[in-house]
Each structure stands twice: as C-alpha cells, then as structure tokens.
C-alpha cells in the first residue's frame, strides 16, 4: 500500500542537544551579537571582515569534535531510508548535522554554514576553511567576492518553490524543534492543515507559539521523542 509523502521541518531545537550554540534562544548568539552587525547584507557591505570573523567562529564551533549528530538526526535519516514514500527534510538550521547523520533529500532553507557563495559568478564552494576578504573564488578566480552561503535578515529563504510543492503533495507534516515564530517556516503548517487527509504533528521541547494548530503534539527532548515517534511511524503504529 502506498504510504503518504512526508515533509519534516526542523529548527534549532534538534541541533541544541548536539552542543551547538543556538541563535535565537534567550542565551543564544543573538543575545550577544547584534544581528545588524553580522547578519544583514548591509553589515557585510559595511564591514566584511567582521562578518567573516563571525561565521569563521561558527564554522570552528561546528567542526569541534564534540559536535556530532544526535539520535534525533539519526532517526530522521532512518525515516528517509526506510519509509516507502517520499520524505523531504526541510531544515532552518545552517549546520551539516542532518547530512552527517545520513539524510540526503534535504533543503537548507536558510543556507549552509560550511559553504561560501561567490557574489560575482554565483558558484558555491564547500568548506574552504577560514574565509577572508582576500580569498579568491575557485570557479571565476575573482578575489574578495565570497560571502557566507547563509540567508541573512532581509533576504529570501532558499528553494521555496520546491518546499511549497512538497507541502502541496504531502500527507504528513512533522515540525521538530522549531519555535513557530520565524516566517515563512512558521506558516508551513497553515498550508497543509485544512487539506483533508493531511496530518500535522509537532515534536518539540515545549509547545511552540503555533502549537494549537497541530493535530498531534509530543513534548520532550528531541533525542527522546523523535526516535520514539519515527519508530512508531515505521512500525505502522501511527
Ligand atoms: Zn566566482
């Protein structure tokens, strides 16, 4: 029997237990660094050295050997491998923990920390190490035209057409570790909630701002509730 397509949305809550600094929590990065100094196109124009320093430090944090995919990342990779239908993972996280856990059908709607993008030719480079304002693009060879491949405040998230197409065809939408107040991701559940036959599920540490619109909700640490939910799903118990 055909099983429904699944769209999974993940946010900072799934990476937190992997030891990464979060951006939006009460004690997260945005409580220590001003967004307008490091995470807007204007900041990069004004002071690219400072912006590169900020993202270089984030990259070093991600490469720290203590930072590893956790049981929740692994459960979602297993879901993609074993589910007899389509599974698209849409993450708001810029870390690479989903890939390291084995997920392949994946959209990074807010970009990827380890990648740089050339503003001259558009080429993406994976993990060039420390990025400086002098560094040259490996494709067009222009120096000083690289920027972090992350979506800054005031910029459009990536691959939205692919995401909305998947939402339009999914029978199950699962939101994991996301606060429910960052748009457009917070609006995805509204796209599917009134469609007959589409189930909506929230898995989070605590009820998100939009919790009441989800049909099914489970609360607790991601490393506990995500593996439990996924194994029940794969066993046909949900
Ligand atoms: Zn280039």
pLDDT tens digit sequence for 14-59: 999 998 877 777 778 888 889 999 999 999 999 999 999 999 999 9
CB 121 within 8 A of CB 146: no
Residues designated as active site: 110
Q: Whole-model pTM?
A: 0.94
Q: How far is residue 138's CA from residue 130's CA, in Å, rounded to a whole number?
A: 14
User: Within 10 A of 153 (CB to CB), how many other CB atoms are there?
Assistant: 12
Could you tell me the CA-to-CA distances from 45 to 40, 49, 203 in Å, in that order? 9, 10, 39
Helical segments of the chain, H only: 12-15, 35-38, 41-46, 48-63, 71-82, 97-101, 160-169, 188-192, 222-234
- Ligand 1 centroid–CA 166 distance in Å is 31
How is residue 29 written in tokens? Answer: 């990065």
pLDDT value of residue 1: 47
Place of tokens 């599974």: 87
In this prediction, residue 180 has a pLDDT band, given cuts at 50, 70 and 90, of confident
- Ligand 1 centroid–CA 146 distance in Å is 8
Ion ligand 1: residues, CB within 5 A, are 118, 120-121, 123, 137, 139-140
- Ligand 1 centroid–CA 47 distance in Å is 20
For all residues of the chain together, what is the average pLDDT? 93
CB 22 within 8 A of CB 29: yes
- Ligand 1 centroid–CA 21 distance in Å is 30
Residue 196 has pLDDT above 80, yes or no: yes
């Amino acid at each position: 029997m055909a099983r429904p397509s699944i769209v999974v949305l993940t946010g900072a809550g799934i990476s937190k237990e992997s030891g990464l600094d979060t951006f939006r929590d009460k004690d997260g990065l945005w409580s220590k660094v001003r967004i307008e100094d490091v995470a807007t196109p204007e900041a990069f124009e004004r002071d690219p050295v400072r912006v590169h320093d900020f993202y270089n430090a984030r990259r070093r944090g991600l490469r720290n050997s203590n930072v590893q995919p956790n049981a929740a990342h692994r459960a979602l990779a297993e879901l993609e491998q074993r589910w007899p239908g389509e599974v698209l993972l849409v993450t708001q996280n810029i870390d690479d923990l989903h890939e390291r856990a084995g997920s392949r059908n994946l959209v990074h709607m807010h970009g990827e920390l380890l990648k740089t993008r050339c503003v001259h030719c558009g080429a993406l480079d994976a993990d060039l190490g420390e990025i400086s304002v002098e560094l040259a693009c490996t494709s067009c060879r222009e120096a000083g035209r690289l920027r972090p491949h992350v979506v800054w405040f005031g910029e459009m998230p990536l691959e939205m057409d692919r995401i909305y197409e998947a939402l339009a065809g999914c029978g199950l939408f699962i939101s994991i570790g996301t606060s429910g107040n960052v748009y457009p991701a917070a609006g995805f559940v509204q796209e599917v909630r009134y469609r007959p036959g589409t189930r909506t599920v929230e898995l989070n540490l605590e009820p998100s701002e939009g919790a009441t619109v989800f049909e099914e909700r489970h609360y607790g640490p991601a490393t506990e509730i995500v593996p439990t939910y996924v194994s029940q799903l794969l066993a046909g118990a949900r």
